[in-house]
């Protein structure tokens, strides 16, 4: 606990404080608080419609107003943030998990397996992740689970490339050579000796991955191939709101602000983790 709290204190040598980490945790904490609150309390059902309350402004009854179907925007933001974060977490679980294993094996063993794997990854990285996701969505179909799988597969190459680079840097270091001389197995060296020394870079990459996954999910749902109505995600909510930008701007802005706060939070967390050693 003391070690965790020390991350927020000024470094005695440099006199600096890791403001990126602090700001990232604040912004991410706000979003997580909204999501967690939704499990215990939600003002209205996110799917409940009220024809007499269409496009109402901010009030004590509806703190973010209502949408074009009379549904409470705040309740839908609480639910939609949960869906978006769940898809992002699934994306990272698949992408970082498979990418880490692939990058570790190719970086450590090298050879023909490394050459073939990296050429395939190079081809996949030549396409933007959102475009690559569209290809996989066309194979798996639309829906929450399909989008999570599609995004997860499209994120594998970037994580594999990062982990491979770290293993190439570490695999000939002294502590690895000593482990080999002691007869330690290759798999133990990979997952017990080398992998823990890549966690700093990997955790920073995971935060950036969360950032990109949130944006990718929002983009796909905005196009209508993510979470399907009547269930909400931030992407399809923004798609519904775009037609009311001028006559009900608060409807669009409230949803956009949640996406911005979420993305900035993960971005600052990534930069803060990357700079931990500097403070």
Average pLDDT value for residue range 169-176: 89
Let me know: does 235 contact 105? Beta carbons within 8 Å: no
How far, in Å, CA of 275 to CA of 20, rounded?
A: 8
In a domain, 96, yes or no: yes
The answer on pLDDT for 251 being more than 70 is: yes
Let me know: does 81 contact 262? Beta carbons within 8 Å: yes
In a domain, 137, yes or no: yes
**Tokens linked to 184:** 């330690």
Encode pLDDT of 184-243 as tens digits.
Answer: 898 999 998 999 988 888 988 898 888 888 888 888 888 777 777 767 788 888 888 888
The answer on pLDDT for 159 being more than 90 is: yes
Question: 246 φ, ψ to 5°?
Answer: -95, -35
Residues 6+ apart with CB under 8 A from 88: 210, 213, 214, 217
pLDDT category, 164, cuts 50, 70, 90? very high
Neighbouring CB atoms inside 10 A of 267's CB total: 20
How far, in Å, CA of 32 to CA of 21, rounded?
A: 16
Kind plus residue range of the DSSP H or E element containing 238 = helix 234-241
Q: What is the pLDDT of residue 111?
A: 86
pLDDT category, 93, cuts 50, 70, 90? very high
pLDDT category, 2, cuts 50, 70, 90? low
In a domain, 74, yes or no: yes
Q: Read off the CATH number of the domain in which 221 is found.
A: 1.10.3720.10
Instruction: Domain count for the chain, please give it.
Output: 1
**Tokens linked to 243:** 């037609």
User: Which residues are 66's β-sheet partners?
Assistant: 72
In a domain, 12, yes or no: no
**Tokens linked to 169:** 């840097």
Q: What is the pLDDT of residue 278?
A: 56
Which range of residues forms the domain containing residue 82? 19-34+69-278
With H, G, I as helix, E, B as strand and everything else as coil, classify residue 212. helix
Report the predicted TM-score, pTM, of the whole model to 2 decimal places. 0.86
Chain position carrying tokens 């081809």: 123
In a domain, 103, yes or no: yes
With H, G, I as helix, E, B as strand and everything else as coil, classify residue 72. strand
In a domain, 148, yes or no: yes
Q: What is the pLDDT of residue 57?
A: 80
Question: 66 φ, ψ to 5°?
Answer: -125, 165
Encode pLDDT of 78-91 as tens digits.
Answer: 988 998 999 999 99
pLDDT category, 4, cuts 50, 70, 90? very low
Q: How open is the CA angle 21-26-31, to the nearest 5 degrees?
A: 125
Encode pLDDT of 27-50 as tens digits.
Answer: 999 999 988 998 888 888 888 888
How far, in Å, CA of 36 to CA of 81, rounded?
A: 10
Percentage of residues of the chain with pLDDT beyond 70: 93
């Amino acid at each position: 606990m003391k070690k965790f709290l020390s991350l927020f204190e000024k470094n005695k040598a440099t006199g600096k404080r890791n403001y990126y980490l602090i700001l990232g945790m604040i912004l991410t904490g706000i979003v997580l608080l909204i999501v967690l609150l939704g499990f215990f309390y939600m003002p209205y059902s996110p799917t409940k419609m009220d024809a007499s309350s269409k496009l109402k402004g901010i009030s004590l009854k509806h703190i973010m107003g209502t949408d074009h179907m009379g549904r409470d925007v705040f309740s839908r933001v609480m639910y939609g943030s949960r869906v978006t974060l769940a898809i992002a977490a699934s994306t990272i679980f698949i992408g970082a998990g498979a990418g880490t294993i692939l990058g570790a094996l190719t970086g450590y063993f090298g050879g023909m397996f490394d050459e073939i794997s990296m050429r395939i990854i190079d081809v996949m990285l030549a396409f933007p992740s959102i475009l690559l996701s569209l290809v996989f969505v066309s194979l798996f179909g639309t829906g929450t689970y399909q989008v999570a799988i599609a995004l997860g597969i499209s994120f594998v190459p970037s994580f594999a490339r990062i982990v491979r680079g770290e293993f190439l840097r570490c695999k000939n270091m002294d502590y690895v050579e000593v482990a080999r001389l002691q007869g330690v197995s290759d798999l133990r060296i990979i997952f017990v000796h080398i992998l823990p020394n890549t966690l700093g870079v990997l955790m920073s990459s995971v935060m950036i991955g969360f950032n990109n996954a949130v944006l990718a999910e929002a983009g796909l749902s905005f196009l209508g191939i993510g979470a399907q109505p009547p269930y909400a995600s931030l992407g399809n909510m923004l798609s519904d709101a775009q037609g009311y930008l001028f006559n009900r701007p608060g409807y669009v802005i409230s949803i956009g602000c949640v996406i911005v706060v979420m993305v900035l939070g993960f971005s600052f967390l990534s930069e803060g983790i990357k700079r931990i050693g500097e403070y």
